[in-house]
Amino acid sequence: MTNLASDHNQYYTYENYQSWSDNEHWEIIEGEAFNMSPAPSTRHQLISGNLFRELSNYFKGKKCQVFPAPTDVKLSDTDIVQPDILVVCNLDQIKISYIENAPSLIIEILSPYTEMHDRVRKMRLYAKYGVKEYWIVTPFPSLIEVFLLKNNKYILNQAYAKNELLLSVTFKKLSIELSDIFTFPLKPEEEKIFLRIKEPPAEYGR
């Protein structure tokens, strides 16, 4: 991930964004442009597809719509992002080429290149514009953190591990078995880590 603004000392807007190549993944935050390359990993894409399937099934027949990346979200003329997954419940926000203003739910799947961007810049941005619920997904060790907006800041509501049942707060009957989300095979060294994570400390067994 590179910061274009730091190289050229320029302030970018949605007009600039529209002129950039569709073959590259850009975001603009407070006028700074970020190239979100390299491409996502296969684990990232598998998790994204599994989550999108579960959310699509839940929202089928309801007024809310689920969108996968790449979908532009225009929070302002100088804040344009492409979340991994988003849910919009006000259908007036859905424009021909972008979503206008804050979705009800945004999900970001971390990578080594984007963790600081998703946990710091984008978390602050989503809070600023009023995204009610924000999920941060860590592929391995497998974890989903559910944050809720309170007094313009995000509060961690709950963190869910691989074999747990995730419960949304904004959407009361939305629950997801995370064993259906983290379906990628583990490498031998990861399997050892995962087994240690599952084993409780000795004092808990006494």
Residue 194: per-residue pLDDT: 67
- Please tell me the distance from the alpha carbon of residue 81 to that of residue 35, in angstroms, as a whole number: 11
Domain 40-205 top-level CATH class: alpha beta
* pTM summary value: 0.89
Letter for the amino acid at 93? Q
Which 3 state secondary structure label does DSSP give 19? coil
- Please tell me the distance from the alpha carbon of residue 108 to that of residue 124, in angstroms, as a whole number: 13
Q: Is 152 exposed, middle or buried (0-12, 13-18, 19+ CB in 10 A)?
A: exposed
User: Which of 2-6, 16-20, 76-80, 168-172 is the least confident region?
Assistant: 2-6
- Please tell me the distance from the alpha carbon of residue 95 to that of residue 66, in angstroms, as a whole number: 14
Q: What is the mean pLDDT of the chain?
A: 90
* pLDDT category of residue 191 using cuts at 50, 70 and 90: confident
* pLDDT category of residue 39 using cuts at 50, 70 and 90: confident
Domain chopping of the chain, boundaries = 40-205
Which 3 state secondary structure label does DSSP give 87? strand
Residue 1: per-residue pLDDT: 56
Which 3 state secondary structure label does DSSP give 55? helix
Local structure of residue 39 (DSSP, 8 states): P
- The arithmetic mean of pLDDT across residues 120-140, rounded, is 97
- Rounded to the nearest angstrom, the gap between the alpha carbon of residue 165 and the centroid of all alpha carbons in its chain is 18
- The arithmetic mean of pLDDT across residues 32-53, rounded, is 92
Of residues 102 and 7, more confidence is placed in 102
Token pair belonging to 97: 């080429």
| Buried-state track 20-38, b at ≥16 Cβ within 10 A, e below 16 | eeeeebbbbbeebbbebee
Residue 137 pairs in a beta bridge with 109, 144
Indicate if the pLDDT at residue 4 is higher than 70.
no
- The arithmetic mean of pLDDT across residues 3-21, rounded, is 77
Residue 95's alpha-carbon distances to 109, 173, 186, in angstroms, are 25, 28, 40
* pLDDT category of residue 37 using cuts at 50, 70 and 90: confident
Residue 190's alpha-carbon distances to 14, 113, 142, 162, 182, in angstroms, are 42, 20, 11, 13, 13
Q: What is the 3-state secondary structure (H, E, C) of 146-204?
A: EEEEECCEEEEEEEEECCCEEECCCCCCCEEEHHHCCCCCCCHHHHHHHHHHHCCCHHH
